[in-house]
């Protein structure tokens, strides 16, 4: 009879542990979803401001075309091409706003200071949102690698979390000029 009680107690402890681990994994997946939504919002905000600047007529025609096309492609990209399109937008922003003349032209236009501040904020928030997302992915992957999680299929049918890798380096002159 005592053996039966010990076996039952061990099964209850194992069940509680499995339930706790499954709940933790579920919370990590929810955190990934929330972080991805925040990242998508920041990427959309950055692309919107860049597209608005590209159509404003403030920049020189070549810079306007480059910026507009990169922003448009970033907004319209399919999920499997999103990282490449967002990296291309980062490169276009650096190409356009690493020149002080472009930043000064935007600043001198009506509402230019506000537009530069908005663009600077959007460009600065993307790396933070990406870092939060990738940290959540890293934590979920660490839990999913445990044998117990694999053996008991505690992740259910949730897809394996993937990090979002892109070039998110901000134009140096944009930050310096926007703060000035």
State the pLDDT at residue 179: 45
State the pLDDT at residue 176: 55
Question: Chunked in runs of 10, what are the mean pLDDT values of the chain (180 residues)?
Answer: 94 96 96 98 97 93 95 97 97 90 89 92 96 98 95 92 95 61
State the pLDDT at residue 177: 44
Give the integer Cα–Cα distance in Å for 157 and 163: 18
CB 83 within 8 A of CB 164: yes
Q: What is the pTM of this model?
A: 0.89
| CA dist list (Å): 177 to 52, 77, 112 | 19, 30, 12
Closest by CA to 170, choosing from 122, 111, 114, 136, is: 122
State the pLDDT at residue 175: 63
Give the integer Cα–Cα distance in Å for 112 and 116: 6
Give the integer Cα–Cα distance in Å for 23 and 77: 34
Q: Which residue has the tokens 């979920």?
A: 140
């Amino acid at each position: 009879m005592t053996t039966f009680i010990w076996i039952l107690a061990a099964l209850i402890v194992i069940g509680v542990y499995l339930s706790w681990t499954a709940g933790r994994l579920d919370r990590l997946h929810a955190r990934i979803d929330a972080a991805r939504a925040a990242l998508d919002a920041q990427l959309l905000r950055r692309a919107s401001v860049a597209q608005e600047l590209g159509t404003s007529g403030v920049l020189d025609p070549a810079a306007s075309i480059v910026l507009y096309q990169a922003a448009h492609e970033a907004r319209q990209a399919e999920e499997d091409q999103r990282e490449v399109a967002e990296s291309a937008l980062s490169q276009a922003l650096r190409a356009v706003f690493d020149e002080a003349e472009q930043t000064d032209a935007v600043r001198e236009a009506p509402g230019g200071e506000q537009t530069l501040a908005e663009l600077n904020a959007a460009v600065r928030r993307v790396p933070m949102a990406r870092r939060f997302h990738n940290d959540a992915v890293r934590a979920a992957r660490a839990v999913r690698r445990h044998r117990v999680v694999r053996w008991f299929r505690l992740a259910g049918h949730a897809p394996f979390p993937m990090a979002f890798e892109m070039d998110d380096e901000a134009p140096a002159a944009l930050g310096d000029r926007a703060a000035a």
